[in-house]
Amino acid sequence: MMQKLLLTTLLLIFPLLAFGQSAQNGTASLTLEQAVELALENNYQLKQARNNRDVSDTRVFSAKMDFAPNLNASFGGSRSTGRQFIQDDLSFEDRTAYNLTGSISTNVTIFNGFSNIANLRQARANLSTQEEDLNRLRENIIFNTASRYLQVVLDEELLKIAEATLEASRSQLEQVEAQVEVGSRPTVDLYNQEATVASDELFLIQRENSYDVSMAQLIRIMQDGSIDRVETQMPSIDDLALMPVEVDLQEMIEAAISNRSDYRAQEYAIESNRQDITMARANFLPTVTANAGINTRYSDQFAVLGDVVPFTDQFFSDQVNRSISFSISIPIFNRWDNRTNMQAAQISLRNSELELDNVRFQITEEVRQAYSDYQSLVKELESSEKALIAAERAFETEQQRYEVGSTTLIELNQANANFVQAQSDRVQAIYSFVFQEKLLDYYIGQLDENLRFE
């Protein structure tokens, strides 16, 4: 039968093709893995996240360097003109004096209430947060790309069904026209079939629009300006593994809590806020600092027994001063700033702990929903197959009855519409099922770029 041959042809679409891209007319032949690779390479949000991670890494290095002493050097010169007291002659006279000064100093923090240690720990926690956020963003891009890629595949499949349905309707219209002309069918059958063809033409236009929209969304997420159309590469429907797997809801929830990057990122955010409290507490404690320095100068007026001392003797020997010191700073009253900062840090910690609870509830809800959807799709997969078989038999029966004149064209078209709808439902059930299996991996935090539908 023509309709059975049509169904078989539709269910064997999308053969496995060799990997590669075709640059002709901006069309690229891409597998799902290649589409994901392009999206990960070009996504601007992912690039920004990497930059933020690099900034956090730099801050960790800066926090480590806070334990080291600093080192400062200065050099200056001056020229002064005016009356000066001349000690040798015990008199005043106008003179021009030249002076040079130089110094090297260093200081190191010995104790600051463990603020430097807390700062380093906070920087490391922030870096870990950025890394986990980056990982989750990668998973989101992989998931969204796969979702849009599969939508293109599905819309292309439904478009082919619509095209074949319209072609069959037009063929049926030609037969009805011929039968009306010879008087074997009433004119109303012609009008009914013309209405059916018009309806199928509208349905085809809607499918073409859906396909174009899903194609634009796929190209948008890949962000490659050289591509304006994608030729998808997917296994045929008959090659897809449609065997349901046993999944345990509680195990999935535990795995998600353990694996999800957004949950770990929030845990690191809590650790960062804890270190904020330590740094705020450090402001109540004394700070001990050690200092050391070397100062030297040169003046053309510096003389010993009437003889001007040369530059090298002055600058490197006679006028060199060395110092070493320590200081203790004790906070006594700072207008309640320290107490306010402490309270703000404690509130931030409590808020971050509440946010962790919210993330846990959100993850649990997402996993439960994904689990429920998967169980529903398992049942839908079975029922859609039964519905397709029944619709095909009903259509064949109505077609035979119509040929012998025991049924109307309206009933035949209705059976055909049910058959087409069953085909569409079956295709959508198959692709939704294979994608839902990947969706489970996404919600438990185990999705990577090596995506394949097999």
Q: Please give the Cα distance from 42 to 200 (Å, whole number).
A: 40
Per-residue model confidence as pLDDT tens digits over 329-345? 999 988 888 899 999 99
Through-space distance between the first and last CA atoms of the chain, rounded to whole angstroms: 30
Pairing of strands 91-111, 70-86: antiparallel
Identify whether 431 is part of a domain.
yes
Q: Which residue has the tokens 């478009």?
A: 159
Judge whether 99 and 77 are in contact, CB under 8 Å: yes
Q: Assess if residue 239 is contained within a domain.
A: yes
3-state secondary structure of 43: coil
Cα radius of gyration (the chain): 40
The predicted structure's pLDDT at residue 28: 85
Dihedral, CA of residue 353, residue 359, residue 364 and residue 367, to nearest 10: -160
Residue 452 has what DSSP assignment? -
**pLDDT given at position 198:** 94
pLDDT of residue 348: 95
Beta carbons of 175 and 409 less than 8 angstroms apart: no
pLDDT value, residue 239: 66
Nearest to 240 by CA among 453, 3, 424, 23: 453
Angle at which helices 337-403 and 409-443 pack, to 10 degrees?
A: 150
Question: What secondary structure does DSSP assign to 175-213, as a single string?
Answer: HHHHHHHTTSS-HHHHHHHHHHHHHHHHHHHHHHHHHHH
Residue 114, phi-psi category: left (phi > 0), alpha (psi -120 to 50), beta (remainder): left
Note whether residue 190 is domain-resident. Answer: yes
pLDDT (tens place) for every residue of the chain, 454 residues total: 333 433 333 333 333 333 344 444 578 888 888 899 999 999 999 999 999 999 999 999 999 999 999 999 999 998 888 777 666 566 677 778 888 999 999 999 999 999 999 999 999 999 999 999 999 999 999 989 988 998 998 898 889 889 988 998 898 888 888 888 888 888 888 888 899 899 999 999 999 999 999 999 999 999 988 888 999 887 777 667 677 778 889 999 999 999 999 999 999 999 999 999 999 999 999 999 999 999 999 888 777 766 778 888 888 888 899 999 999 999 998 888 889 999 999 999 999 999 999 999 999 999 999 999 889 988 888 898 899 899 989 988 888 888 777 778 888 888 888 888 888 888 888 888 888 888 888 888 887 766 665 5
Give the per-residue pLDDT at 263.
95
Does 305 map to a domain?
Answer: no
In a domain, 32, yes or no: yes
Number of structural domains found in the chain: 1
188 in a structural domain:
yes
Q: Quick check: is 303 in a domain?
A: no
| pLDDT at residue 90, as a whole number | 63
Residue 247 lies in a domain: yes
pLDDT of residue 85: 64
pLDDT in tens, 138-148: 999 998 998 89
Nearest to 141 by CA among 53, 35, 57: 35
Q: Give pLDDT, residue 17.
A: 34
Angle at alpha carbon of residue 366, lines to 361 and 368, rounded to 5°: 95
Query: Residue 212's pLDDT is what?
Result: 95
Given a contact cutoff of 8 angstroms between Cβ atoms, the answer to whether 130 and 42 are in contact is no
CATH number at residue 194: 1.20.1600.10
The partner residues of 31 in beta bridges, in order of sequence, read: 233
Q: So what's the pLDDT on residue 453?
A: 59
Q: Which domain holds residue 196?
A: 2-72+115-285+337-443
